[in-house]
A and B are shown apart, each in its own frame.
Chain A
């Protein structure tokens, strides 16, 4: 394993906290995989070995699990993971046009990473925000109601090192590694940032119930 002593000690400490959450230690495999992604930005052979050692299972067992899940990266990728929902609803509401514009603008395709290591693109499946279509996710933060222009500006800002603010999320998008640590179950103190809900979430509260529209 090529982790530094310092990194290994830190990972071991976090891993013990993760194991403590479960009655059976193998259940800790997904949070441990998120944890190793927080160290290197992807699930490296070292990461696999670390999980295997921690759980006392073979590396093949860990690889078999890691390759099942789409959030776990098998190779180094960008600091910002930019996903465009191209499932049916978002696709038809404009997600396909956004995807094509973004792909052409950035110059990489599905799962491709820009040469500066900043941006990895992915066509996403439904991310549970259909009422905000078309939806784009950056490091798993919501960017609602997007257009081709708004998304091009978004990636330009990310590549220029500017902070970007999700529609419903923290005050700024954190790096992929930082976000992976939250998914491993360690908060980052940003829970109180951002709104309670976006306008679509509140639509049912604001209707007068009798607003007339052409239903057919």
Chain B
């Protein structure tokens, strides 16, 4: 049994955990003071030795990303925190920022010091107003105490941080779309290269890191790279949030080392709903291939999940039991991608439009067997043919569900309708719904 490792969440249960007073009483900003006493290159070395990989989905090594910054040319360079958490199933950054905004700010100052940044931005999705309140207050507190602003803790480091509210667009979680949005344009992705580290915000060198990545830095700098690297697997070190939602008894945030399995997480979450069995799940939000009961013991790290044909992504684990219709689930995710496609690339814009039409008619019992091939062909036409990963993401649950549950699609077509009772999947009882037939 892999033990859980609450680190970032360890103080969320404390009264007024979001205040500077509470944060400092638990040793907050001590790691910053320690980091500021060493050279920036030494801070980067600690992060490199820790093995920290980005927590936003791609899992790229954080120190390596920083390493792509060109040498200082005297002009500005920027650090942008991606707090646009919107991937379906992903719900870790919002509770972190609500409960412990200073954890992000402390990590942010450390990252800025390491990378030579004097202006940072936090791009926070707009649809979470209380998180905006908490972060605005935390920024004021940190400025008043000298953790932000000029000559931070006497180190000579100057850093300004701007909190920037998004306005409702999933695509802005994609780093180049985020930059377009932050520059004041429609949030549409850009062709890479050049990568943002070379030419990002205002065409200047820019680092973009996820909230959880940055929030992991105070622990790494405070307790050391070896402590962090003692958790996890060979290639995926440290603690990370595994966000369980759906048909488990206690959905929620489970901080654990990489390599924990879904079987262990479901046990920690008190099991599946009484009398029900696991049917399918997403390891990394809706932009990851569906897995099934066959994959309960796959170690949840980037490499192992990749080896079974999916991806670890954001660790937004959505769990569905045997009351759930996979066609309904996939059709709804596809509606999401059609709605959120920014429209820039034709394969994604048009492809998601066609996919929703075909899935809708299959779900309603009006599809044909030829539609199943049509779905796969359309997915092939989208995948790898757009500037960003949104189009690719739209295809993942479709292709994988056809692989694992083709018979269920066929049942909708041959039976001219959905064989499931939607009332049974709900977490509240509805009149007329059959009781669990365990």
Residues of A that sit less than 8 Å from B by CB:
21-24, 26-31, 33-34, 55, 64-65, 68-72, 86-89, 91-94, 96-97, 124-134, 137, 139-142, 145, 147-148, 166, 168-170, 174, 179, 182-188, 190-192, 194, 196-205, 207, 209-216
Contacts and interface: CB of A to CB of B under 8 A. Distances in A.
A141 B336 CA distance: 21
Nearest to A179: B129
B243 interface: yes
Interface string B102-132: 0000000000000000010000011111101
Contacts of A91: 328, 332
B88 A88 contact: yes
Nearest to B340: A125
Contact of A192 (B1, B19, B127, B262): B19
Given A169-B130, A210-B267, A128 B169 contact: no
Contacts of A130: 88-91, 243, 245-246, 251, 316, 318
B157 interface: no
B294 to A, nearest CB: 10
Contacts of A89: 88-89, 245-246, 318
B12 A202 contact: yes
Contacts of A93: 246-247, 425-427
B187 A68 contact: yes
Interface residues of B, number: 105
Contact of A27 (B4, B95, B183): B183
Given A22-B162, A141-B130, A128 B91 contact: yes
Contact of B126 (A88, A140, A168, A194): A140
Residue from A31, A140, A166 having most chain B Cβ neighbours under 10 A: A140
- Residue with the greatest number of chain A CB neighbours at <10 A, chosen from B99, B251, B423: B251
Interface stretch (B43-51, B252-260, B303-311, B348-356): B252-260
A185 B136 contact: yes
Nearest to B342: A68
A21 B256 CA distance: 37
A interface, over-half SS: loop
Contacts of B1: 209-210
Given A202-B253, A216-B296, 17 more contacts: A30-B181, A69-B168, A89-B318, A94-B425, A127-B128, A128-B93, A140-B129, A168-B98, A183-B167, A188-B133, A196-B12, A196-B14, A197-B13, A201-B252, A202-B252, A215-B262, A215-B266
5 contacts: A30-B181, A130-B243, A187-B140, A204-B268, A211-B267
Report which residue of B3, B187, B202, B426 has the largest number of chain A beta carbons within 10 angstroms of its beta carbon.
B426
A91 to B, nearest CB: 6
B146 interface: no
B179 to A, nearest CB: 10
A129 B272 contact: no
Contacts of A168: 98, 130
Residue picked from A22, A27, A169, A204, most chain B C-beta under 10 Å = A204
